[in-house]
Homo-oligomer: A and B are copies of this chain.
Amino acid sequence: MNACSSELWESGTDCQNCSLRAAALFAGLADEQFSLLHDAIQDIQLGPDQELYRVGDAGKAVYTLRSGLLKLVQYLPDGSRRIVRLLRPADLTGLEALLGQPYQHDAVALQAATLCRIPIDLVNKLGAQNPSLHQELMRRWHQALSAADTWLTEFSTGTARQRVARLLLRMADSDGTSSCALFNRKDMAAMLGITTETASRLIAEFKRNGLIRQSGPAGFSCDPKELFRVAAD
């Protein structure tokens, strides 16, 4: 029942020296308040395809992604599924918990991931004393909204070839290298609203034409200029 049952976790994270602190939720917090974090925040590790939470679970915490990739999946009544968002390190998810609502997606690790589990009680307590936290939360909410709009315009519009090209461009840095492995075709399809076969064919075609190539076991590189041309068509 509990989505967390199979997770590995440990308490006592060193939040004050967190490498993400500057980018993280509590960036504006006074040092003395960090003691509160110490007790409450848990470290979570997920293997590929492990679930963080599921649609309808009671929302008791928000999560910051520290490493890896997380997908948010939504389902239609008929059972078909769509990946509506991808979380990268420093992103925050499960915000609906702060409004007392159950989670609205399945959150699943795309690759091995590490996260911080932040109980909503803690957020509420700190928020009462730190108005800047609210500002920061709104900023996160807005980030998520912008990301959703991007998915609508970039990944749900145009031909399948354009969508795949746009997705690759977004995964890669501007120099054409990417630090993450290529998604499997099924996930790609669920992100782009196409079938796995079409995704597979297009990736294979791009590889043949030298637009992308494997670079090591957990990464790929691509030709941004050519991909951009394909994306614009």
Contact = CB atoms under 8 A, between A and B. Distances in A.
Interface of A: 74-78, 80, 82, 84-85, 95-96, 98-99, 101, 104-105, 128, 131, 134-135, 137-139, 141-142, 144-146, 148-149, 151-154, 156-158, 193, 232-233
A76 B138 contact: no
Contacts of A142: 95-96, 99, 101, 141
Best-surrounded residue of A128, A139, A148 (most CB of chain B within 10 A): A148
Contact of A156 (B101, B104, B193): B193
A158 B145 CA distance: 23
B99 A153 contact: no
Copies of this protein in the complex: 2
Contacts of A153: 74-76, 82, 84
Given A148-B148, A148-B152, 4 more contacts: A95-B138, A104-B146, A104-B149, A134-B134
A74 B148 contact: no
A158 B80 contact: yes
Contacts of A141: 138, 141-142, 145
Contacts of A134: 131, 134, 138
Smallest CB-CB A-B distances: 8 pairs:
A148-B148, A156-B156, A141-B141, A134-B134, A84-B152, A82-B153, A74-B153, A84-B149
Contacts of A193: 156-157
A68 B222 CA distance: 47
Contact of A157 (B76, B157, B233): B76
Contact of A77 (B99, B148, B232): B232
